[in-house]
Amino acid sequence: MTAQIISGREIAEAIRAELAEEVRELKESHGMVPGLATVLVGEDPASQMYVGMKNKAGAKLGIHSRQISLPAGTTQDELMGVVAGLNAAPEIHGILVQLPLPEHIDEAAIIEAIDPMKDVDGFHPINVGRMSTDSGTFFASCTPAGIIEMLLRSGHDPAGKQVVVVGRSNIVGRPLASLLLRKGRGGNATVTVAHSRTRDLAAVTRSAEILVVAMGRPESITGDMVAPGAVVIDVGTNRVEDPESEKGYRVCGDVLFDEVVQVASAISPVPGGVGPMTITMLLSNTVKAARLALERGGGGDA
């Protein structure tokens, strides 16, 4: 058996086409252009690349992007002031402060300073709490929300399924478990969360009809750890040394793809799987934030 490939790139393109139509409708019918502000502190190359990708993707959809680049020596109070200004800006509907921040800045305090209704990363405690309790309006964390869309749009609804999530981070594992447990679209699953301290991890992963791996450990899930016919979503993105590559390294996931693809019924690749979905769901949250602002009587042309 060779697994179906769940292409995050293809699913992301389909969602972005839908978002572009929503953005066009907001502008034509309401004179509103969704606005996304990205805040970058310091000159970390990876962070600069990620922010650039987010802004470029937003611009393609017609979203107004504002990038604020600050020096690494920016103080906590200065960054708080920037966030406060963006909270008050009616043309900005989504705020993203790129993480990680320099060590002298309290990340939690910055996240909590963002207006929850502009927290398109889905990290504010109010959004996390509402997601966990399945109550009120909230923004879901982008990577977990992207995983849910990948499952649904590839024909693998988690409802009623035994889902095992390997990884318990606040960015992927925990919020994904909350989304899978919700009553409604993409939820109603029976969820087990496993992690580095789980005894007999292989026995747990083999119990999964849907297995989501977010361990941060290259190719840790092997073919014998997956039940025949399971659906596997690989969240990991790792660089490993490869002397045969021109770059000296290759990118791989947390799943040993060449083995698991022979056992699973469907699998997401790395790269080209979860990665493209994360930025797409950030854009989706931004459009959602604009619509919520419109309902509250706010927003306007960028």
pLDDT at residue 245, rounded to an integer: 84
DSSP designation for 222: -
Residue type, 16: R
Q: Which fold has domain 30-120?
A: Rossmann fold (3.40.50)
302 pLDDT tier (thresholds 50, 70, 90): very low
Distance CA 42, CA 60 (A): 26
| Contact predicate 174/140, CB 8 Å | no
Give the CA diameter of the chain. Answer: 58
| Contact predicate 6/268, CB 8 Å | yes
CATH 3.40.50.10860, the chain: domain bounds:
30-120
pLDDT at residue 2, rounded to an integer: 80
Neighbours of 224 (CB within 10 A): 12
Rg of the chain taking only CA atoms, in angstroms: 20
CA 265 to chain centre: 24
Q: What is the pLDDT of residues 36-95, one digit of tens each?
A: 999 999 988 888 988 999 999 999 999 999 999 999 999 999 999 999 999 999 999 999
Of the residues 54, 118, 161, 288, which is catalytic? Answer: 54
Instruction: Write down the pTM of the prediction.
Output: 0.94
DSSP letters of 117-140? GGBTTS-SHHHHHHHHHT-SS---
pLDDT at residue 193, rounded to an integer: 98
Distance CA 292, CA 83 (A): 20
CATH 3.40.50.720, the chain: domain bounds:
142-276
300 pLDDT higher than 70: no
Q: Cβ neighbours of residue 243 under 8 Å, at least 6 residues apart?
A: none
Neighbours of 126 (CB within 10 A): 17
Q: Which CATH number fits domain 142-276: 3.40.50.740, 3.40.50.300, 3.40.50.720, 3.20.20.140?
A: 3.40.50.720
298 pLDDT tier (thresholds 50, 70, 90): low
Q: What is the torsion angle, in degrees rounded to the nearest 10, for the CA atoms of residue 153, residue 159, residue 163 and residue 167?
A: 70
E runs forming strands in 171-217: 190-194, 210-213
Active site residue 121: yes
In the chain, % of residues over pLDDT 70: 98
CA 75 to chain centre: 28
Q: What is the pLDDT of residues 160-204, one digit of tens each?
A: 999 999 999 999 999 999 999 999 999 999 999 999 899 999 999
Of the residues 115, 118, 119, 121, which is catalytic? Answer: 121
Q: Are strands 249-252 and 238-241 parallel, antiparallel or unpaired?
A: antiparallel
Neighbours of 252 (CB within 10 A): 20
| Contact predicate 35/294, CB 8 Å | no
Of the residues 98, 115, 254, 288, which is catalytic? Answer: 98
Q: What is the pLDDT of residues 240-275, one digit of tens each?
A: 988 888 888 899 999 999 999 999 999 999 999 999
* Closest to 210 in 3D by CA, of 1, 2, 3: 3
